[in-house]
């Protein structure tokens, strides 16, 4: 870092004038130049850091012409829907509509075991939900929303697409993010992604400037496809989703009780489609295996256990 600092500031004479406040002002200007004064905008709100900061930023730019949608896709964590909706209403005062589409998602995922296929299916279903919501909104406000806000970050783009400027039409896709590589080509809504050039630590910094409550900003990342990618195999088989929800809840609460939640980047449980023997009390058991993972990171690009 010292070498880079010397090269940039002493040798090149670069001015260190970049501030996150400038990013906020620039993005608000871009949003206002993109969205016409009578346009309405939908925001895909998940309850995580990224979409919450994106929604708050766009709301600051266009006010009540922003309409947020929280989708219960049947793949959420334990009591996530109730907790998130309560926090939206109590702390953020954003206009949020909750859509229960759990049966719609789970029916499409029945029998699917490939995680990449799961991501594609979930991305497509999300867009179907937003298109339907846009149609309903048109009946209320008299004009169909043209834009969809997403909390896409730069790592999402990197992992889903070829390197920029590489000239390639394809590369090794690490994973198709449901909000990048998982989107259908024929989607009707145009995207607004105000955070797509930022990393997670920068988004948290922007959130503090926007006065997003600290508990929201400190939440661990949770994948858009939800527990679909934390249950290996068919998510609809047996009670895999219930098991991983309960395990995850116990794991996260234990980390919070130990006072180390904020020093961990991401902690979560994974359901494995294999059984193992064990002993519970005085009895031998033969049941499914779950794994617990916890990693530290700064920007989500590299991690350590």
- Which residues are annotated binding-site positions for ATP? 46-52
Q: How many CB atoms lie within 10 A of CB 222?
A: 19
Tokens of 141: 């406000």
Tokens of 225: 């496809």
Rounded Cα distance between 241 and 112, Å, is: 14
Annotated binding site: 46-52
Half-sphere exposure (CA, 13 Å, Cβ side) for 177?
18
Surface-to-core class of residue 130, CB atoms within 10 Å of its CB (0-12 exposed, 13-18 middle, 19+ buried): buried
CA 43 centroid distance within chain: 12
Q: Looking at residue 194, what DSSP letter applies?
A: T
Rounded Cα distance between 211 and 207, Å, is: 6
């Amino acid at each position: 870092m010292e070498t880079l600092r010397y090269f940039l500031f002493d040798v090149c004479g670069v001015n260190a004038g970049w501030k996150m406040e400038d990013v906020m002002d620039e993005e608000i200007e871009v949003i206002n130049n993109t969205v016409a004064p009578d346009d309405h905008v939908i925001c895909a709100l998940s309850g995580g850091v990224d979409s919450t900061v994106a929604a708050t930023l766009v709301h600051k730019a266009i006010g009540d012409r922003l309409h947020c949608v929280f989708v219960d896709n049947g793949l959420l964590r334990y009591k996530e829907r109730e907790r998130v909706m309560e926090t939206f209403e109590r702390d953020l005062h954003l206009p949020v509509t909750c859509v229960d589409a759990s049966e719609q998602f789970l029916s499409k995922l029945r029998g699917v075991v490939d995680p990449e296929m799961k991501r594609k299916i979930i991305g497509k279903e999300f867009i179907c939900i937003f298109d339907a919501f846009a149609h309903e909104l048109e009946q209320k406000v008299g004009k169909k929303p043209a834009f969809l806000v997403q909390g896409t970050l730069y790592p999402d783009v990197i992992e889903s697409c070829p390197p920029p400027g590489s000239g390639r039409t394809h590369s090794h896709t690490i994973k198709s993010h449901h909000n990048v590589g998982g989107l259908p080509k024929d989607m009707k809504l145009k995207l607004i992604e105000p955070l797509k050039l930022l990393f997670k630590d920068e988004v948290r910094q922007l959130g503090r400037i926007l006065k997003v409550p600290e508990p929201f900003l400190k939440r661990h990342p949770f994948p858009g496809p939800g527990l679909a990618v934390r249950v290996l195999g068919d998510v609809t088989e047996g009670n895999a989703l219930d098991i991983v929800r309960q395990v995850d809840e116990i794991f996260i609460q234990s980390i919070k009780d130990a006072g180390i939640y904020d020093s961990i980047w991401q902690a979560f449980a994974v359901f494995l489609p294999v059984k193992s023997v064990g002993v519970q009390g005085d009895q031998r058991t033969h049941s499914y295996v779950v794994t617990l993972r916890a990693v530290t990171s700064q920007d989500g690009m590299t991690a350590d256990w």
